[in-house]
């Protein structure tokens, strides 16, 4: 891929500026604050757009930093480049109100759709993170970040498996963790709800048992009262005794009535006989009459007493029957209530048992969590073997580049799975932290270039370096410039120093100077 021309219409401090680029080394020269980093950011923004931040972060994001103060509705420009032997023109306006992106294949006249991923295809599906950490090195960013580690691991794993670096293992692991967290929350919520339901069922069962106990106690009381209606154990119940008593009183009343009637008849007969055969005296008649009246009076009093007792016994019978009926109704009601409680308790026990049985069965969430754990273990295992599987290619290429730019002083870079590096000087192994800053810059440069070759194998991007040689002495800078020229790639070096151009001229390395 080669960038042929950039036309910055309105971007940051640069307005209406066009730069023609050559296929080889281009030196973009300008004093500090002249806009070199702005041009660097413009190229990246044209290829990958500008992601606006939200909230407080929006005040210092790329969009706000480079938004033009004058005529902000015109915010962007055009870039012409070659990719896969075809020429393209990409025009963008980044203004938030009416953003616009237009990608034209100048060879075929076809207008491609940026929003649907056509630009990604043209760029060889090189991600923004890869671009940032390999071929495009911004000012004060010569040390690789965690994004590079993730992209390298992703590339090496997918290269070994399918040869396709479009699978993002880091993001996949993150998505799996997020999904697992979601299912874990759901499972915890389900478990908590189940525990609540079981607690509620247990409380309801205990409440029912207490109610059943109270019903039992009330039934015992009713039975005791029913038993109390019997006069003595083994005797007939009270109502039978009352009936017998009523019958006895009734018989006595009839006997008294009969006796009184017979005695009255006898007394009348006596008076009649005394009056017939003893007319000369009335004493016997009077005595018989007094006796008869006395007997009648006594009999009447007895009748009245028996009548009162009969009425009393009949009332007692009525009350007794009412009491019996009430106790019977209470007992039956208690039996019905007890049966309902037993049924309800049985249902609750069955439901509680179902919850207990279900707790031993795998839930949907649990199955998903197990599957996600297995997927994560697979990815972790794959990532753990990355270095042994294909990491040698990165180490080998990094070592070769480092050897070339150090004149063979450092010939081998050793790195572990986390890309922590040491250097083999053929005499000893030296940890990175014991090397000079200039040597460390060279190692990281070699790593970026090697990673760029691996991650951008489909499309070789121009190497864009923005004031990254500040820690290089003249020999180191000369070696790096020779290596860049040898690679026969488009190079864009942004600098505020003239020594890069002086060394290029002294070494006879062709370049094009662009001034801001």
In angstroms, the CA 504 to CA 484 distance is: 11
DSSP symbols for 50-104 = -PPP-GGGGGGSHHHHH--SSSTTS-EEEEEEEETTEEEEEEEE--SSS-EEEEE
Structure tokens given for 1: 């891929």
Please indicate whether residue 450 or residue 260 has the higher confidence score (pLDDT).
Answer: 450
Residues 142 and 445: beta-carbon distance below 8 Å: yes
Please indicate whether residue 164 or residue 466 has the higher confidence score (pLDDT).
Answer: 466
**267-324 tens-digit pLDDT:** 677 666 766 776 666 566 666 666 767 766 776 777 787 778 777 877 877 777 777 7
**78-136 tens-digit pLDDT:** 999 999 899 999 999 999 888 999 999 999 999 999 999 999 999 988 888 888 878 88
Among 123, 132, 177, 125, which residue's Cα sits nearest to residue 150? 132
Is residue 163 scored above 60 in pLDDT?
no
Q: Which residues are 430's β-sheet partners?
A: 423
**459-492 tens-digit pLDDT:** 788 999 988 887 788 999 999 999 999 998 999 9
Token pair 């670096």 is at which residue? 165
Query: At 391, phi and psi to the nearest 5?
Result: -65, -20
Please indicate whether residue 237 or residue 367 has the higher confidence score (pLDDT).
Answer: 367
In angstroms, the CA 155 to CA 140 distance is: 26
Is residue 188 scored above 60 in pLDDT?
yes
Mean pLDDT calculated for residue range 243-250: 78
DSSP 230: B
pLDDT of residue 501: 94
pLDDT of residue 165: 46
**111-122 tens-digit pLDDT:** 999 999 999 999
Q: How much of the chain, in percent, has pLDDT values that exceed 70? A: 81
pLDDT of residue 11: 96
Please indicate whether residue 284 or residue 407 has the higher confidence score (pLDDT).
Answer: 407
Is residue 153 scored above 60 in pLDDT?
no
Model-level pTM greater than 0.75?
no
- In this structure, of 62-76, 224-238, 352-366, the range with the lowest mean pLDDT score is 224-238
Structure tokens given for 410: 């450092």
In angstroms, the CA 140 to CA 466 distance is: 9
Per-residue confidence band for 146, with pLDDT thresholds at 50, 70 and 90: low
Per-residue confidence band for 455, with pLDDT thresholds at 50, 70 and 90: confident
Give the torsion sign (CA, 88, 62, 466, 9). positive
**205-216 tens-digit pLDDT:** 999 899 889 888
Please indicate whether residue 309 or residue 378 has the higher confidence score (pLDDT).
Answer: 309
Mean pLDDT calculated for residue range 169-175: 68
Q: How much of the chain, in percent, has pLDDT values that exceed 90? A: 28
Is residue 511 scored above 90 in pLDDT?
yes
Residues 20 and 4: beta-carbon distance below 8 Å: yes
CA 19, distance to chain mean position in Å, is 52
DSSP symbols for 235-252 = SPBHHHHHHHHHHHHHHH
pLDDT of residue 94: 95
Mean pLDDT calculated for residue range 426-448: 80
CA distances from 219 to 10, 174, 223, 335 (A): 96, 66, 6, 8
What value does the mean pLDDT of the chain take? Answer: 80
């Amino acid at each position: 891929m080669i960038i042929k021309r950039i036309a910055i219409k309105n971007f940051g401090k640069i307005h209406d500026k066009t730069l023609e680029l050559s296929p080889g080394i281009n030196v973009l020269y300008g004093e500090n604050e002249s806009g070199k980093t702005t041009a660097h950011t413009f190229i990246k923004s044209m290829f990958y757009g500008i992601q606006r931040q939200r909230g407080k972060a929006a005040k210092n994001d790329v969009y706000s930093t480079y938004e033009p103060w004058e005529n902000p509705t015109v915010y962007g420009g055009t870039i012409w480049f070659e990719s896969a032997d075809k020429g393209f023109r990409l025009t963008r306006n980044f203004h938030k109100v009416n953003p616009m992106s237009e990608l034209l294949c100048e060879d075929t006249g076809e207008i491609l759709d940026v929003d649907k991923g056509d630009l990604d295809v043209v760029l060889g599906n090189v991600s923004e993170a890869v671009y940032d950490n390999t071929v495009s090195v911004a000012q004060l960013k010569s040390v690789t970040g965690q994004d590079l580690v993730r992209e390298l691991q992703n590339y090496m794993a997918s290269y070994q498996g399918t040869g396709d670096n479009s699978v993002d293992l880091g993001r996949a692991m993150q998505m799996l963790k997020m999904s697992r967290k979601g299912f874990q929350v759901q499972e915890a919520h389900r478990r908590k709800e189940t525990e609540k339901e079981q607690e509620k069922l247990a409380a309801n069962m205990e409440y029912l048992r207490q109610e059943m106990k109270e019903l039992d106690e009330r039934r015992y009381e009713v039975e005791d009262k029913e038993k109390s209606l019997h006069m003595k154990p083994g005797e007939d119940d009270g109502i039978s005794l009352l009936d017998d008593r009523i019958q006895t009183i009734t018989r006595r009343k009839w006997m008294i009535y009969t006796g009184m009637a017979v005695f009255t008849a006898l007394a009348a007969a006596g008076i009649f006989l005394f009056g017939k055969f003893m007319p000369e005296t009335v004493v016997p008649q009077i005595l018989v009459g007094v006796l008869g009246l006395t007997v009648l009076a006594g009999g009447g009093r007895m009748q009245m007493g028996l009548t009162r007792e009969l009425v009393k016994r009949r009332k007692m019978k009525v009350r007794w029957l009412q009491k019996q009926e009430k106790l019977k109704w209470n007992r039956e009601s208690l039996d019905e209530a007890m049966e309902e409680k037993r049924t309800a308790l049985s249902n609750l026990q069955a439901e509680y048992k179902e919850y207990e049985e279900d707790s031993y069965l795998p839930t949907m969430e649990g199955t998903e969590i197990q599957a996600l754990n297995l997927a994560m273990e697979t990815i972790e295992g794959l990532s753990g073997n990355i270095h042994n599987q294909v990491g040698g290619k990165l180490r080998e290429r990094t070592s070769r580049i480092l050897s070339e730019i150090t004149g063979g002083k450092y010939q081998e870079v050793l790195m572990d799975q986390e890309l922590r590096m040491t250097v083999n000087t053929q005499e000893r192994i030296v940890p990175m932290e014991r090397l000079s800053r200039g040597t460390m810059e060279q190692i990281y440069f070699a790593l970026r270039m090697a990673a760029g070759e691996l991650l951008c194998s489909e499309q070789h991007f121009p190497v864009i370096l923005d004031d990254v040689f500040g820690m290089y002495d003249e020999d180191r800078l000369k070696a790096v410039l020779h290596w860049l020229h040898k690679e026969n790639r488009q190079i864009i070096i942004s600098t505020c120093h003239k020594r890069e151009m002086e060394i290029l001229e002294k070494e006879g390395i062709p370049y094009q100077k662009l001034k801001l």
